[in-house]
Structure 1
């Protein structure tokens, strides 16, 4: 495994992280989740990502149980706050009340004394940003949180937060967690540069486009019955990729990967890791063998010629915009 710093902080995380969105506490049995976490740890993954909203806390419980066997100092846990955790008017968002209460709730579910990286899961237009940033800063002062970040914030929102932080001498945000893969590249327009300028790096989710960039989905073909796309509880994201031109492009990428004696998953992850502004790519895994396959991407070095060839293939879907 290889490790990278997160933003301008001293925190180092594995280039591949294990996430729990749409998997742990939901479609994957707990014991299988524990097996995946164990294998990830054995392979050098020290970064585990979750969120309070993933199955209303169940994913945090599963992750915490799976990590109990290991020294707390040997791994990094990231979780998030924003989405509804109840029916009340204060059970959501980025108010001071919700942030403080949900941090305590996440710590209890994880069975931990502190959270390494606490992230605003989305931007909240209903709450003054100063209120949100002061609440995060107070959690760091209290030792409940070590570092803070955001997820899917715009360049303007990141810039605004940096200005407030500097004005009030608050601790910095160190990361942004956006969706990023070969097919969805919106962060290249502004967000990567603005984040870098303000000492933040990217921790990206859906690096394999919810499994589309494994090559298992073919154009003009039925979805495999055991796949995420065929599961009504998880297909709301992945279905947006199902356009024939996109799937045809993916098959060309798959051919290139085969010529390099790689799986498409490994090529896709290696392409992401070729961008130094990215600290880690969060994978999902429903069995340990997927973790083993994906981890091999950290040793793949893509030449300039290969990167150029990838860009030529992707040019055909440069205007792709998935429905969300």
Structure 2
């Protein structure tokens, strides 16, 4: 496993981050997901990740309404806590009714303690706001996060999925008011979803922020498991949602997948490995979040660390798409 530091901090993290959105019951207050895996199938994936040297594990309170955090907590109980970097997030709806979601001081503090209980740990290494909250002043949010750091319950704070101007506003507010500063950003970022290159990625590069991309395979598209004219594989998220590959993906995205498959064939590797390797070649990227449901999927993904892409390869992969940003993408 390769390691790097998270943004401008001294925190050492693996070049791959284990994402755990797939783990748990799938239940949330307003709907039920059917594509998650239970604890029995989740635990071997977490154990295998740690065997590979992955020390960076990401979850969120909203994932299966806390069930993912509980599964992670049970799985890491036997390991040395100081060897792991555990990240979770706050914002999403945890219950219906007042104060059930958002970034108010009350919700953040209540949910931080709830996450600590579910994770079975005394502190969270990286506590992230999952989305921007238009209903709460950013000063209130940052003050609450700062309090958690002062209390020793949180070591670093991060953010996810917002407009570049919002992120810069938060960073500036932290600097002016002397609140704990965000050290990381989780944007959606993949070969077929590069809009963040025109939004928050340049902010991160300028401000020394670690970039931890989510959905690096874009809903499984870059695994190569979908064909334009076929029905989605049984058990896939797309099959559960009742849409077809032709409806879901546009011509430019299919052109990118063609290039991914060609390079994978040339190097005798998989499309998964090429797609993850592309992100690893980006200087601004700290660690893509990978979300395997099985040990085999995880083992395949780890192979991306050994792939070298030439400048010509990268140009071929990027040629079909000209990144454009819109607030509608959030």
TM-score by length of 2: 0.91
- The separation in 2 between residues aligned to 1:14 and 1:307, in whole angstroms, is 23
Structure 2 counterpart of 1:283: 290
What is the root-mean-square deviation in Å for CA atoms of aligned residues?
2.1
Deviation of the 1:319 alpha carbon: 6.9
Structure 1 counterpart of 2:30: none
Q: What is the DSSP-based 3-state SS (H/G/I as helix, E as strand, rest coil) of the residue aligned with 1:279?
A: coil
- The separation in 2 between residues aligned to 1:241 and 1:268, in whole angstroms, is 19
Q: What is the DSSP-based 3-state SS (H/G/I as helix, E as strand, rest coil) of the residue aligned with 1:77?
A: strand
Q: Is the 8 A contact 1:151 1:177 kept in 2?
A: yes
- The separation in 2 between residues aligned to 1:105 and 1:45, in whole angstroms, is 25
Q: Could you list the runs of 5+ residues in structure 1 that have no partner in the other structure?
A: none
Deviations 1:133-160 (A, max 9, x none): 0100110010000000110021101111
Q: What is the DSSP-based 3-state SS (H/G/I as helix, E as strand, rest coil) of the residue aligned with 1:210?
A: coil
Change (3 A) 1:290 1:169: same
Structure 2 counterpart of 1:153: 162
Query: Does residue 102 of structure 2 align to residue 98 of structure 1?
Result: no
Deviation of the 1:318 alpha carbon: 5.6
- The separation in 1 between residues aligned to 2:240 and 2:45, in whole angstroms, is 21
Structure 1 counterpart of 2:87: 78
Q: Is the 8 A contact 1:218 1:247 kept in 2?
A: no
Q: What is the DSSP-based 3-state SS (H/G/I as helix, E as strand, rest coil) of the residue aligned with 1:150?
A: strand
TM-score by length of 1: 0.93
Deviation of the 1:248 alpha carbon: 4.9
Query: Does residue 179 of structure 2 align to residue 170 of structure 1?
Result: yes
Structure 2 counterpart of 1:143: 152
Structure 2 counterpart of 1:109: 118
Dislocated runs of 4+, deviation >4 Å: 317-324
Query: Does residue 278 of structure 2 align to residue 295 of structure 1?
Result: no
Q: What is the DSSP-based 3-state SS (H/G/I as helix, E as strand, rest coil) of the residue aligned with 2:87?
A: strand
- The separation in 2 between residues aligned to 1:15 and 1:221, in whole angstroms, is 34
Query: Does residue 265 of structure 2 align to residue 258 of structure 1?
Result: yes
- The separation in 1 between residues aligned to 2:289 and 2:62, in whole angstroms, is 17
Q: Is the 8 A contact 2:164 2:200 kept in 1?
A: yes
Structure 1 counterpart of 2:232: 223
Q: Is the 8 A contact 2:198 2:324 kept in 1?
A: no
Deviation of the 1:241 alpha carbon: 3.8
Structure 1 counterpart of 2:312: 305
Tell me the number of residue pairs that the alignment of Structure 1 and Structure 2 aligns: 319
Deviation of the 1:188 alpha carbon: 0.7
Change (3 A) 1:153 1:87: same
Q: Could you list the runs of 5+ residues in structure 2 that have no partner in the other structure?
A: 27-35
Q: What is the DSSP-based 3-state SS (H/G/I as helix, E as strand, rest coil) of the residue aligned with 2:212?
A: strand
